[in-house]
């Protein structure tokens, strides 16, 4: 999953980026509204953390422009303002959630997990398909109750596919959502990760749709 952090405080931006990366996300950072707007307008993010008080272009203006342009990416607003009217204004501008400064980074991570899973139509922090269970909070995968040890990239591929069960996901889409902007992307490595996942999971779980990509079919793994 790929996250954009738009925050002009470099220390806070770095703190959030580090925590998100530690949690397994690919992260891009912007430090003013114009840069943030451009990235959110041109790159495919799974969620965006957006500060309201930004230079160049304030956060609410950035958000309103995204929504006018049809950008439906989940947005978590950061605000130092305590007035309820500012929070209402943010929600009305199209924010999906907000957190007031100062905050605990763990709260931001929990809210991001919630936004990502809701955007994919999941209500729980545990994604289940047949015998495979993926715990988003613990970053843990089990098959028939038995833990499966995955590398970080294998986990990211499986997590994205399980967030999008029954959808055909291309290698390009996986590459765009698993790596940050500065990463030397190679969609061919996705095939390697999928092959390793198939061996480790031990069942016919990830289907290759020739010429299109990969899919986890919930019907074929129904209990």
Write the pLDDT tens digit of every residue in 130-169. Answer: 899 999 988 999 999 999 999 998 999 999 999 999 999 9
What letters, b where the CB count within 10 A reaches 16 and e where it falls short, cover 160-186? bbbbbbeeebebebbbbbbbbeeeeee
Burial of 107 (0-12, 13-18, 19+ CB in 10 A): exposed
Q: What is the CATH number assigned to the segment(s) 2-119? A: 3.40.50.2300
Residue 23 reports pLDDT greater than 60: yes
pLDDT band at 185 (very low <50, low <70, confident <90, very high): low
In terms of CATH architecture, what is 126-221?
Orthogonal Bundle (1.10)
Instruction: Sketch the domain layout of the chain as residue ranges.
Output: 2-119, 126-221
């Amino acid at each position: 999953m790929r996250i954009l952090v738009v925050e002009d405080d470099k220390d806070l931006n770095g703190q959030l980026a580090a925590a998100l990366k530690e949690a397994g996300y690919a992260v891009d950072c912007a430090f003013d509204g114009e840069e943030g707007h451009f990235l959110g307008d041109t790159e495919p993010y799974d969620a965006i953390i957006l500060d309201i008080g930004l230079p160049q272009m304030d956060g609410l203006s950035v958000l309103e422009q995204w929504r006018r342009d049809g950008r439906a990416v989940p947005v978590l607003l950061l605000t130092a303002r305590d007035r309820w009217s500012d929070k209402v204004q943010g929600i009305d501008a199209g924010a999906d959630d907000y957190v007031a400064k100062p905050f605990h980074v763990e709260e931001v991570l929990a809210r991001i997990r919630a936004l990502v899973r809701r955007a994919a139509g999941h209500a729980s922090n545990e994604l289940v398909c047949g015998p495979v269970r993926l715990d988003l909070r613990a970053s843990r995968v089990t098959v028939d109750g038995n833990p499966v040890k995955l590398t970080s990239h294998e986990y990211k591929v499986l997590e994205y596919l399980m967030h999008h069960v029954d959808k055909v996901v291309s290698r390009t889409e996986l590459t765009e959502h698993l790596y940050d902007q500065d990463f030397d992307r190679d969609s061919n490595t996705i095939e390697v990760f999928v092959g390793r996942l198939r061996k480790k999971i031990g069942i016919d779980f990830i289907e290759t749709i020739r010429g299109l990509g990969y899919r986890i079919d919930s019907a074929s793994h129904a209990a």
